[in-house]
């Protein structure tokens, strides 16, 4: 009998992470570990998943996402007994740009939770995966990281860091069996984007985005825009001449 696939989700209470977890337990019985900042909220997600797949093993861990020593301790513990097959790093926040411009503490927190923290988690996981020569790591960036725009450049800068980091990991691991998947969602229908919906911005259905993420990770795809149309949109934005771009209210 084959051992259950080992999956770890960092930031398991995010809308995208929870939707991906439901797809994974729906597909087969898995050994799933949910890592979150709030133990009670993470346990609520776990309880729902246990009902959906009684054959799966779902455990919860709580950790301070900004404490590098706790991050390393948590990842080392998860990888101690046997290799992890899939890791999805999905945590983040979407602050109001204007508020982050005015509040240095909020600006720092935005950069730390959206960029530094995911990188610290990924680096420790990849160290273990590289030794085992096995595993797939997915890290959620954003289309916001493709070009700095006045509407969200602090958040975008954090996601731009994640993108360059993921590309460097892919280069480092090119000759191994370890896969790194950089996921770039556009605006998605989650609690984090509630303010965008209120402003009338069209957002992608959560289930559709989750299906594309799970598929991309299964294929070990280097980069996945979800939905795919954002690849075209962002290529256009990236290549606009500066004198045109400067006039846009985006």
Residues whose CB is less than 8 angstroms from the CB of residue 127 and which lie 6 or more positions away in sequence, other chains included: none
Residue pair 126/173 in contact (Cβ under 8 Å)? The answer is yes
77-99: average pLDDT: 95
SS3 223: strand
Per the rule left: phi > 0, alpha: psi between -120 and 50, beta: everything else, 115 is alpha
pLDDT for residue 142 is more than 60:
yes
Please tell me the predicted confidence (pLDDT) of residue 167.
98
Task: Please give the share of the chain, as a percent, with pLDDT higher than 70.
Answer: 96
Amino acid 191: pLDDT: 75
Q: What is the CATH number of domain 5-245?
A: 3.40.50.720
Judge whether residue 1 has pLDDT over 50.
Answer: no
Q: What is the mean pLDDT of residues 207-217?
A: 97
Please indicate whether residue 1 or residue 126 has the higher confidence score (pLDDT): 126
Mean pLDDT lowest among 48-62, 91-105, 190-204:
190-204
Q: Phi and psi for 154 in degrees, rounded to 5?
A: -75, -50
| Residue 195 in this model has a pLDDT that exceeds 90 | no
The pTM (predicted TM-score) of the whole model is 0.94
Mean pLDDT for the stretch of residues 36-55: 97
pLDDT of residue 202: 78
CB distance 21 to 45 below 8 Å: yes
CB 183 within 8 A of CB 141: yes
Residues 85 and 135 sit within 8 Å (Cβ to Cβ): yes
pLDDT tens column, 149-164: 999 999 999 999 999 9
Q: Is 60 exceeded by the pLDDT of residue 2?
A: no
- Cα–Cα distance, 10 to 216 (Å, whole number): 18
């Amino acid at each position: 009998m084959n051992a259950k696939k080992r999956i770890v989700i960092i930031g398991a209470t995010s809308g995208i992470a929870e939707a991906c977890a439901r797809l994974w337990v729906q597909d087969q019985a898995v050994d799933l570990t949910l890592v979150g900042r709030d133990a009670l909220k993470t346990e609520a997600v776990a309880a729902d998943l246990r009902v959906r797949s009684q054959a799966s093993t779902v455990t919860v861990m709580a950790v301070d996402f900004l404490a590098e020593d706790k991050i390393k301790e948590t990842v080392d513990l998860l990888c101690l007994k046997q290799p992890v097959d899939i890791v999805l790093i999905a945590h983040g926040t979407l602050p109001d740009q204007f508020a982050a411009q005015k509040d240095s503490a909020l600006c720092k927190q935005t950069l730390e939770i959206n960029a530094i923290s995911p990188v610290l988690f990924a680096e420790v996981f990849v160290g273990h995966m590289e030794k085992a020569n096995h595993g797939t790591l997915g890290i959620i960036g954003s289309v916001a990281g493709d070009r700095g725009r006045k509407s969200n450049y602090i958040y975008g800068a954090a996601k731009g860091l994640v993108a360059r980091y993921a590309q460097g990991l892919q280069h480092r691991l090119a000759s191994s069996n370890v896969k790194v998947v950089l996921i770039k969602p556009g605006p998605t229908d989650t609690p984090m984007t509630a303010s965008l919906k209120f402003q009338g911005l069209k957002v992608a259905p959560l289930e559709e985005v989750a299906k594309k993420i799970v598929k991309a990770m299964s294929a070990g795809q280097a980069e996945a825009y979800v939905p795919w149309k954002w690849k075209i949109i962002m290529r256009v934005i990236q290549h606009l001449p500066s004198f045109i771009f400067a006039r846009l209210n985006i």
